[in-house]
Structure 1
Amino acid sequence: MIQISPAAQNYFRHLVEQQNISGLGIRIKAIHAGTPKADCVLEYCEPGDLAGDELSIDCAGFNIHIDAASTQYLEDAEVDYQVNATGGQLTIRAPRIKGSVPDANSPFADRVQYVLDSEINPQIAAHGGRVKLVEANADGVVVLQFGGGCHGCGNADVTLKQGIERTLRGHFPEIREVRDATDHASGHNPYYKGEKGASAMG
């Protein structure tokens, strides 16, 4: 998984201690993952900001949290901090973050996953949500699972039908049906509670 050098850990620890907030950590996530625009974002993160499915790394005094949707793109990533004449520089090398664009001969599931990662997840991330591919079969049926703010959201069906399904059908006319396999009753922190709101896309 991701490698965080002792120098980088010390740098983060210093930043966290300066904030003087109990339980404060650092969150690392990939934005526009799997696309040429992919990049890493680091931010302070309090316990209440966590979705609960992050990969957490104990750094002796604080935790670094890897956003769940970013873990596959941060595999083999290296975070380091180098002291130089002007102070220091934090570097993140993530060889998998931009992924690779699947071609027309790639498996259907890979092509659907690419659209989820490059177009759909960046949009619903504004609502703290994400969607994961469970299945994409040769019969044109795509099964998805919502997470984060979309898990238990009162308007997840609108997002699925008016946003996600429309986008996927635009890329893949062979899709007959997009299904939601999420147990929304178990959602802990939905963006919309109850039946209200609008699609998280658009």
Structure 2
Amino acid sequence: MIQISDRAQTHFRRLIEREAVPGMGVRLSAVDPGTPRADARLEFAEPADLAGDEWAVDCEGFTLYIHAASVPWLDGAEIDFVTQATGSQQLTIKAPKIKGEAPGEAASLVERVHWVVENEINPQLASHGGRVAVQEVAADGTVLLRFGGGCQGCGMADVTLKQGIEKTLMGRVPGVTAVRDATDHDRGAAPYIPRDSAA
């Protein structure tokens, strides 16, 4: 079920009235669902733009169409039009299932490690142009990672590993006993902080 606030409905209704296109509605879809890049997209939709298999939600003065394949990813989504502390207004979409759901306790250690790396750790490293990939998850719970991008050859990679990644994995994934770096840092082409300048 998707919730769309009265404020958001009023906002959309005003925009649609301004367009003055008969039958125009709003279409909601999930882009790259189930991945860390997942996002929700809202766009105007004229009747000719619709595929015919969309789910329709009747709103005050217009219809919200949900892309059929996106429905499972957008279940529980909330659309609102909020006023910020600065006085500006912003449309917000909260879709808790769009990036996928964390594997449950019954999932393997490998699945749980991969999920945390892709959905929690890599989005943070991306701000420095970096990323990590899981090379191996050993039977004793040791996780081997390879740094890439700005993290390969970075002078702060050891700190990132010990203070950030290892703490996150050991705190979020029961069964992880240690995290090790399997990266050849000498091959880093564009480190965020060159190793020789990190002191």
TM-score, with normalisation over the residues of structure 1? 0.49
* Structure number with bigger Rg: 2
